[in-house]
Chain A
Amino acid sequence: MQAGMQKKTACGLTATDVLGAAAFVLLGVSVYMALLYAPTELIQGEPQRIFYMHLPMILAAYLGFLIVFVCGVMYLWKRTMGYDIAARSAAELGVFFTTLVIISGGLWGQAVWGTFWQWEPRLTFTFILWLIFVAYLMLRSAAQDKERVARYAAVLGIIGFLDIPLVFASVYLWRGIHPEPAGMPRAIAMTLFVSMAAFLALFAYLYVLRVRWDRAKDRIEEMYAELEEEHQA
C-alpha cells in the first residue's frame, strides 16, 4: 500500500476515509448514548458512565498487544519488515489506549472509591501490562540497526505476551477475586455495544494511519540511502 495509490470508492473517498468517518460517527453516537440514553447506575451514579469508554478502550489495547505477539511470531518466521511495522504501530496504540484506561479508571476510582489508585487486581494487571509494553517501546528506541530492533522487539513481544496470563493469575491470587456484575439491562448493554464498535473502529483507523506513516517513513529513508549511493557513484 503506497501513499497516493489507494483505491477510491465511487464518491472519491478512500477506504481509510470511510473507516475514519465511521469511527467518528460511531464515537459521536456512543457519547450520546453513554451520557443521555443509558440509565444512571443506582449505586455508583453518574461516574459509572466512564465505563462506556473504559471497557472498549482496554479491549482495543488488548487487541493491540495481540497484534504485537502475532506479528512478532510472523516476523521471526518470515523476516519481512512489514510485520515489524505492524507490531510497532500496534504496540504504540496499545500503550496509548492503556494509558487512557489507567487515567479514566483513576478518575472513576476517585469518584467511586475516593482514591485515584488502588492496588486492586484489575488495576495492577493493567499497570503491569503497561510497564511491559512501555519497556517494549524503550527497547525499540535503544537498540541500533533496524533488523536487530525488529528481532529483539519480536522476542520481547512474545515473552511479554506469554506473561499476560501469568500476571493475570498472580495479581488475582494476590488480592482475592472480586465479584463480577451479573447481568446488564438492555440499554446499558446496547450502549456498551455501540461504544465497543466505536473504539474498535477508532483503533482500526488510527492503526491504518500509523502503519501507513511508518511505511512512508521507511520509504523516505530508503530513498535517501539510494540518493546517497547515486551521489557517491
Chain B
Amino acid sequence: MSKDTGPGAPRVRYAQQLGALLWKDLAIELRTRDTIAAMLVFGVLSLTVFNFAFELRAESLVLVAPGVLWVAVLFAGTLGLGRAYSHERERGSLEGLLLCPVDHSAIYLAKLLANLAYLALAEAVLLPVFDAFFGVEALQPGVVAVILLGTVGFASVGTVFGAMAVQTRAREVMLPILLLPVLVPVIIGSVKATGILLDGRPWSDTWVWVNLLIVFDVVYVAASFALYEYVLEDWG
C-alpha cells in the first residue's frame, strides 16, 4: 500500500468507504422517506403556527420573518437529526459498522454529509413556502449562502449530539436541550445576516455575521471530527 493511487491506496479506499457509508444512509432515506417527510411537514407546520402567532401583534411580518425562518429550520432540523440515529439504534446497524475495518472518522463524515443532505433538502422546500407565506424574497443567492453556512455548523454539532442523545434515557428530549444552547452563535449570526439581506441591504453589511458563522463551522467541524470517536466507543 505504498502507492498513493490505484484501487488499493489508502486515500482511495477511504473515499470508497465514505461513499458506501453515505449511500447506505441515503438509500435508507430514499426507500422509507421517514426523516425527510417528518422534517418537511414539521417545518411547514412551524411556519403556519408562526403565521398565526405573529399575525395580530407584529406591525409587519417582514420584521419577524428571518427569525421565523430560522426557528422553522432549527425545529425541523433537530427532528431530523434525532431520527438519523434512531434506526441505527433500533436495528443495531452502527454496531455492525464499528466491527468493519472502516476508519471511524469516515463514519462521522458520512453521517454529517447525510444529515447535511436532509437539511439542505428540507430547506430547499421550506424556503419557497416561506417566501409565499410571508411575502418576502428569501430565495436569493446571499440568503441561500447564509443558510448553508448556518446549516454546516448546525449539522456538525448535531451529528455528535444526536449520537449521544439516542443513547440516553430521555432521547428525543435530550437532543434539543443539548443542541440549542450551543447553537446560539449560529442562531444569532444567521438571523442577523438573513435579516440584513431581506431588508435589501448590501452583502458587505453581513460580513461580521458571515465571519462568525465561518468560524463556528470551522471550529465545530474540526472538534466534532475529533470527538466523534469517543462517542462511538462502546456503542449499543
Contact = CB atoms under 8 A, between A and B. Distances in A.
Interface of A: 76, 128, 131-132, 135, 138-139, 142-144, 147-148, 151-152, 154-156, 158-160, 162-163, 166-167, 169-171, 173-174
Contacts of A135: 177-178, 181
A60 B34 CA distance: 47
Contact of A166 (B174, B180, B216): B216
A151 B230 contact: yes
A138 B175 CA distance: 11
A162 B223 contact: yes
Contacts, number: 88
A155 to B, nearest CB: 5
A135 to B, nearest CB: 5
B58 interface: no
Nearest to A131: B181
Contacts of A156: 161, 164, 178
A156 B174 CA distance: 12
Contacts of A151: 230-231, 233-234
A159 B169 contact: no
Interface string B162-199: 00100111100010011011101100110010000000
Given A159-B157, A171-B188, A166 B223 contact: no
Contact residues of A: prevailing secondary structure: helix
Nearest to B216: A166
B90 to A, nearest CB: 17
Contacts of B177: 135, 138
Contacts of A170: 184-185, 188-189, 212
Contacts of A158: 223, 227
Interface residues of B, number: 33
A154 B185 contact: no
A152 B231 contact: yes
A193 B220 CA distance: 37
B106 interface: no
Q: 6 tightest CB-CB pairs across the interface, nearest first?
A: A131-B181, A142-B168, A170-B185, A166-B185, A142-B170, A170-B188
B74 interface: no
Interface of B: 157, 160-161, 164, 167-170, 174, 177-178, 180-182, 184-185, 188-189, 192, 208-209, 212, 215-216, 219-220, 223-224, 227, 230-231, 233-234
Contact residues of B: prevailing secondary structure: helix
Nearest to A133: B181
Given A128-B184, A132-B182, A166-B215, 16 more contacts: A132-B181, A135-B178, A138-B177, A147-B234, A148-B234, A151-B234, A155-B227, A155-B231, A158-B223, A159-B223, A169-B185, A170-B184, A170-B185, A170-B212, A171-B188, A174-B188
Contacts of A171: 184, 188
Contacts of A174: 188, 192
Contacts of A155: 160, 164, 227, 230-231
Nearest to B169: A142
17 contacts: A128-B184, A131-B180, A135-B181, A139-B168, A142-B170, A142-B174, A143-B168, A143-B169, A144-B168, A144-B169, A151-B231, A152-B168, A155-B160, A156-B161, A158-B223, A159-B227, A163-B185
B166 to A, nearest CB: 11
A139 B223 CA distance: 19
Contacts of A132: 181-182
B227 A128 contact: no
Contact of B212 (A131, A160, A166): A166
Nearest to A76: B230
A143 B180 CA distance: 19
Contacts of A159: 157, 160, 182, 220, 223-224, 227
